[in-house]
Amino acid sequence: QVRLVESGGGSAETGGSLRLSCKVSGYSLDDGCLAWFRQAPGTEREGVALMDREGRTSYAYSVKGRFAVSKDNDKMTLYLQMDNLLPEDTAMYLCAAKVFSCPATAAIMTPRDFLYSGQGTQVTVSS
C-alpha cells in the first residue's frame, strides 16, 4: 500500500524559509514521478514542482528561483525547500506520486495525473 505523509509546514514571515518533507512508503522514489501541489482556500489545486526518475526538475513560474525539490532515497523522503516566502505562498501543500513518466512541466501537471497523494501540510506566510 502506497502512503505519502507530509510534514514541516507552519508559519513564517515574508522572506522566511520552510522545508517540507514527504515520507513515502510502499513506493520506490525511483519508480516514476514525484510532485508537490498546493491549494489555497477557494482555489484549484496547482502544481508547484516535480522531479522525474532521472532527477530532472520543473517548477511553476511563481516559485521558480525560490523553491527547490529534492529527494533522499535512503530516507524514502521527498523535500521542498521554500525560501524567500511570500504571503501568496500560503496554502495547503501536498505531495504526489505516479508511476512512469512525468508531465512535461510543473505548469501543466494536474492532480488527475497522479495516482497517489498525501493529506497535506499547511503553510502560512504573514506579511
Does the structure show a pLDDT above 90 at 78? yes
User: Stretch 33-38: mean pLDDT, rounded?
Assistant: 97
Q: Which of 60-69, 84-93, 97-106 is the least confident region?
A: 97-106
Cα-trace Rg, the chain: 13
**93: its cell numbers:** 501543500
Non-local CB neighbours of 121 within 8 Å, separated by 6+ positions: 6, 7, 8, 9, 20, 92, 93, 94
% helix, strand, coil for the chain, step of 5:
5, 50, 45
